[in-house]
Structure 1
Amino acid sequence: MPLATLDIALRGATVALLLVLAASLFRGFGTVLAGRLAAAFALGSVAHAVSYSIGSISQVTIAHAPLIALSTGNVVVFWLFTRALFDETFRLRAWHGLVWAAVAAFSFANCLWIAPAHGGSVRLSIVAVNLIALGFIILAVAQTIASWSSDLVERRRGVRVFIVGAAALYGGLNAILQILWSGGGSEAANTVNSVALAAVVAAISFAMMRVDGAELFPAAPEAQTEPVGADAGADQKLVDALMRLMADERIYRHENISIGTLATKLKIPEYRLRRLINQRLGYRNFNVFLNAHRIAEAKAALADPSQAEVPVITIAMDAGFQSLGPFNRAFKATTGVTPSEYRKLKASAT
């Protein structure tokens, strides 16, 4: 089979699989931010599968340019997807949309005007676009590394990392190939790229079919399981010891507190502490567990008339938050009002 025919066949199969995956994600998890972003990422990957061409410097048509722009903008969607996947408090903001629009617009303009207007700089234009893609892939990987340990649901952690890792590996290699071979198109390179893309999409689809959706997306609270007998007594003692660390030592105030630190203090394996917080206390994310204690302390301080003149940022920092922005977002997500509004409501009630 000629390479060109194999390339087209692989692209067609990949597009069909991505469309099915996007439809399934939207139908099953359209109410969950991570699910919607996953579906959007799958659709953006369709644009990539249709439009990519390793090393090509030919003139881009007006019909082709929007597909390339959507493909380039998809790296922003991938970054946002990883944020929503590993941070259940993450919310989309207007500036996220502006970042996506800016990247897509630059790619579109680059295809139709910037590169053609600078014939000798076509390679530079290709490099610029793919460096942007690499930048967002690096951000997505960094987000995954930073947030992975906070996920308390053991069975979904590996699947999530596999999905993000596989997508990032393909995206990174594709961007590097585009940079290295810009100006030197290769039919073999396109076919190899098609094989890699089809394999990654098939592997991700297979992985997602083998797990329950709740293991990937925070659609509902994890069902708690009650241990019995000696295990129940041992777990309760550990829960009591953990809550003493929270209430007496206020360990949640400590900078860079990690689940490993708590496990060391309790003298138990980290995996057991994850399971304890998840199954006995009902938390799916370690940072959410910490923030619950921080916000409880902040609420008490904001309601205290003797601290009426204490700045909100001081209360936030005392409770363990590192800056005002995350504190405001976490506080409003928990209470429905801002810290200042909460203080006013408590003051008017007395």
Structure 2
Amino acid sequence: MQQLSSFLAHSAFSLMALCVLLLLPRYICQLNYRKNRSIILFSVSMLCGCGYLISESFGPLTNMSVLWWLEYISGNALPGVFWLTSISIFSEKHELEYWQYALASSTLLIPLTSTLAQLILGFDLKELPAFWGLVTYGALIIELVLIVYALVVAMKTWQSDLVQDRRYIRGSVVVFAAMYILLVIVSEQLFNLDWIWLDTVKHLLLLILIITVDLVLFSLKDGVLFEGPKRFSPPLKINKTQSPELQRIIHCMLSEKFYQNEGVTISLLSRHLSIHEYKLRQLINGELEFRNFNDFLNFYRIKEVTENLSKPEDSHIPVLTLALDSGFRSLSSFNKAFKNTHGITPTEFRNRI
């Protein structure tokens, strides 16, 4: 059983290292962090996975040795890095914020601070049960919350994602990866299980996961998973060169202003246009180049509000009213979408006009 577990750990380690070696050249050739952020975070998550398997792959480690520290740091950083990777790839927000990096780093910093404090102070912090429990279970709770949150983000935007291959990843790789990390956290940190077959099962599941990741990742079209947001100008009028289905979509947005309806989903639009949902996704993604259905709706909403903000006769209408009338649910979501489009707030835009 031990030999099988070691073989599975070695195989998973090798495949994760290979994945990093195949991905990083994309970043090295284009030294642009924002454009390649998802690639970097995904690669870091794979490196953390390698670090987590050091002792399983290379035998028992000497306490406080270099390899011991690498495994310690990698294992504790993995939940936070996985969360950042999921947010970067699947969230509708195009930019990660500083508080997200800070929260993700807490899965490493909390236990690392505790360990360093023990080394510096020279006594076991377990002698202070209250402090030890706060640090141990506090870090554990944060890890569990981040993993569950990653699952929620991946599934929440499932319906609005227009990239079919990326939808498959949401439903398979991300969910499976999150469930695996949850299994490790619960079995190792929460219940301290020491079953003889547990390591073999964990390593087998990890190997299956990594093989699936490699097969899916490198069979996708370039840019499907890691490509950042694009700047584009969808057609704002109907012409004869467009397919009949595309003409109906544009007419529905520009003339019927379907985006103003509350709770608009791609399923509702599909039924309204009598176009199969799968075909509708292909048209909006392939022809109009939108990767997310909410971005598609917000394009026309922002267009309408921009036009109304530019009209002197509408200068007395509050910005919130214009935002809600166009289909936005809140002022905060509208302000973010507007600033992403124009680079300034709606109020600043109106004042300039």
Place the TM-score, normalised by the shorter chain, in its bin. 0.7 to 0.9
RMSD, matched Cα: 3.5
Quote the residue 1:170 is aligned against. 180
Whether the aligned pair in 2 keeps the contact of 1:130 and 1:176 (CA below 8 Å) is no
CA-to-partner distance for each residue in 1:278-301, whole Å, 9 max, x for gaps? 233232221111110011012112
1:87 deviates by 3.7
Alignment map for 1:42-61 (pairs within 5 Å):
42-50=46-54, 61=64
Q: 1:254 to 1:193 in 2, by over 3 A?
A: same
Bigger RCO of structures 1 and 2 (CA < 8 A, at least 6 apart): 1
Q: Does residue 13 in structure 1 map to residue 17 in structure 2?
A: no
In structure 2, runs of 5+ residues without a counterpart are 28-32, 57-61, 231-238
> Normalising to structure 1: TM-score of the pair?
0.80
> Normalising to structure 2: TM-score of the pair?
0.79
Quote the residue 2:234 is aligned against. none
Instruction: Give the % identical residues.
Output: 27
1:303 deviates by 1.4
Q: Does residue 323 in structure 1 map to residue 333 in structure 2?
A: no
Whether the aligned pair in 1 keeps the contact of 2:155 and 2:170 (CA below 8 Å) is no
Q: 1:100 to 1:153 in 2, by over 3 A?
A: closer
Greater mean deviation of Cα atoms: 91-100 or 243-252: 243-252
CA-to-partner distance for each residue in 1:74-94, whole Å, 9 max, x for gaps? 322222222222246420111
Match of residue 117, structure 1, among 116, 120, 125: 125
Q: 1:124 to 1:197 in 2, by over 3 A?
A: farther
Match of residue 244, structure 2, among 231, 237, 240: 237
Q: Does residue 287 in structure 1 map to residue 294 in structure 2?
A: yes
Quote the residue 1:198 is aligned against. 207
1:99 deviates by 0.9
Quote the residue 2:194 is aligned against. 185
**Matched pairs, number:** 330
Whether the aligned pair in 2 keeps the contact of 1:51 and 1:68 (CA below 8 Å) is no
CA-to-partner distance for each residue in 1:36-77, whole Å, 9 max, x for gaps? 22122212222323369xxxxxx9748545643443333222
Greater mean deviation of Cα atoms: 126-135 or 61-70: 61-70
Q: What secondary structure sits across from 1:256 in the alignment?
A: coil
Q: Does residue 217 in structure 1 map to residue 226 in structure 2?
A: yes
1:130 deviates by 3.6
Letter in structure 2 aligned against 1:281: L
Letter in structure 2 aligned against 1:280: E
**Distance in 1, Cα, partners of 2:70 & 2:317:** 53
Whether the aligned pair in 2 keeps the contact of 1:130 and 1:178 (CA below 8 Å) is no
Q: 1:344 to 1:71 in 2, by over 3 A?
A: farther
Letter in structure 1 aligned against 2:273: L
Whether the aligned pair in 2 keeps the contact of 1:152 and 1:274 (CA below 8 Å) is yes
Alignment map for 1:298-337 (pairs within 5 Å):
298-337=305-344
1:175 deviates by 1.8
1:194 deviates by 2.3
**Distance in 2, Cα, partners of 1:190 & 1:128:** 25
Q: 1:309 to 1:46 in 2, by over 3 A?
A: farther
1:95 deviates by 1.0
In structure 1, runs of 5+ residues without a counterpart are 53-58, 222-231
Q: Does residue 254 in structure 1 map to residue 261 in structure 2?
A: yes
Q: Does residue 27 in structure 1 map to residue 25 in structure 2?
A: yes
